[in-house]
């Protein structure tokens, strides 16, 4: 299938004004925070985690996150007596839910049910991304991405947090089909998605907590764009103002991976 790549003028139009926030809302509505808490030696409550999102493959409903998010939880549980893992407000054992882990990419899949989604709370996903299967990304493609950074997290009460969602629409600067990853540099002309601001992702913004968030390829016109599943946020660099993504092309409809 041939798809239309956005021109720079169209991309700037898409990344500004009402269209941009509508697209950020799309991926926000398919995403949720994945986190775990514990108390340190001073009994202070600590939090770590990332982002997950929901995909409907036509075979089953899947939760997706970065593999290092799962491994971070498992490392904490192995070294700390009491670790509480949550999807939003839903307490879970993430390890017990894992379906598959990619060998060559920083991606893991896990079980989710409609009942789970209803119990996550205020940050519960409202939709599942049904833009299956994953498609290839080339240099210059516009990528819609988002997640729940620690910078936007606020503790309201014991084990009760609010999570701010941050997203953007940025062009790929590095995308070789032979590599398992692609990269976007955060250009202010294409950056959107922080509630309560002018829509710009500020310089040196810490992306911690966004790992595991979704990445969609955007094509078509700015008024009525189309989307294809592209990858998962691996990590971001505040100093270099870039985000690296791992391709989802090895994910199978049942949640297993071919590589």
Whether residue 253 lies inside any domain: the answer is no
- Pick the closest to residue 149 from 136, 132, 133, 162 (CA basis): 162
CB 43 within 8 A of CB 82: no
DSSP character at residue 6: P
Cis, bond preceding 133 (omega within 30 deg of 0): yes
Whether residue 28 lies inside any domain: the answer is yes
CB 190 within 8 A of CB 199: no
The CA distances from residue 247 to 23, 25, 39, 258, in Å, are 20, 22, 35, 12
Whether residue 63 lies inside any domain: the answer is yes
Whether residue 254 lies inside any domain: the answer is no
Whether residue 156 lies inside any domain: the answer is yes
Q: What is the mean pLDDT of the chain?
A: 83
Whether residue 226 lies inside any domain: the answer is yes
Whether residue 24 lies inside any domain: the answer is yes
Percent of the chain whose pLDDT exceeds 70: 84
Dist. CA 183–CA 169, nearest whole Å: 12
CATH number at residue 166: 2.40.10.120
pLDDT tens track of the chain, all 259 residues? 333 444 445 544 544 444 466 778 888 999 999 999 998 888 888 899 999 999 999 999 999 999 999 999 999 999 888 899 999 889 999 999 999 999 999 999 999 998 998 888 777 788 888 888 888 888 888 899 999 998 878 887 777 778 888 888 888 987 777 789 999 988 665 555 554 445 566 677 788 899 999 999 988 766 678 899 999 999 998 888 889 999 999 999 999 999 9
Whether residue 206 lies inside any domain: the answer is yes
Scanning the structure block, which residue is given the tokens 């007596």?
81
Read off the pTM.
0.88
For 54, the domain range is 8-247
Total of domains in the chain? 1
């Amino acid at each position: 299938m041939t798809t239309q790549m956005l021109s720079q003028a169209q991309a700037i139009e898409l990344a500004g004004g009402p269209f941009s926030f509508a697209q950020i809302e799309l991926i926000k509505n398919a995403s949720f925070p994945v986190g775990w808490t514990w108390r340190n030696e001073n009994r202070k409550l600590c939090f770590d985690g990332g982002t997950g999102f929901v995909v409907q493959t036509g075979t089953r409903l899947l939760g997706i996150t970065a593999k290092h998010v799962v491994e971070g939880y498992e490392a904490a549980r192995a070294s700390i007596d009491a670790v509480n893992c949550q999807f939003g407000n839903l307490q879970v054992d993430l390890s017990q839910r894992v379906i598959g882990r990619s060998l060559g990419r920083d991606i893991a899949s896990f079980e989710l049910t409609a009942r789970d989604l209803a119990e996550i709370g205020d940050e519960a996903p409202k939709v599942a991304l049904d833009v299956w299967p994953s498609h290839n990304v080339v240099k210059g493609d516009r990528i819609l991405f988002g997640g729940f950074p620690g910078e936007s997290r606020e503790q309201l009460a014991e084990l009760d947090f609010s999570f701010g969602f941050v997203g953007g629409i940025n062009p790929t600067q590095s995308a070789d089909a032979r590599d398992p990853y692609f990269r976007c540099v955060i250009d202010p002309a294409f950056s959107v998605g922080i509630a309560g601001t002018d829509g710009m992702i500020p310089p040196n913004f810490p992306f911690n907590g966004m790992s595991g968030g979704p990445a969609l390829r955007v094509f078509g016109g700015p008024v009525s764009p189309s989307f294809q599943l592209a990858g998962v946020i691996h990590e971001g660099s505040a100093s270099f103002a870039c985000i690296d993504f791992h391709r989802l092309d090895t994910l199978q409809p049942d949640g297993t991976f071919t590589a």
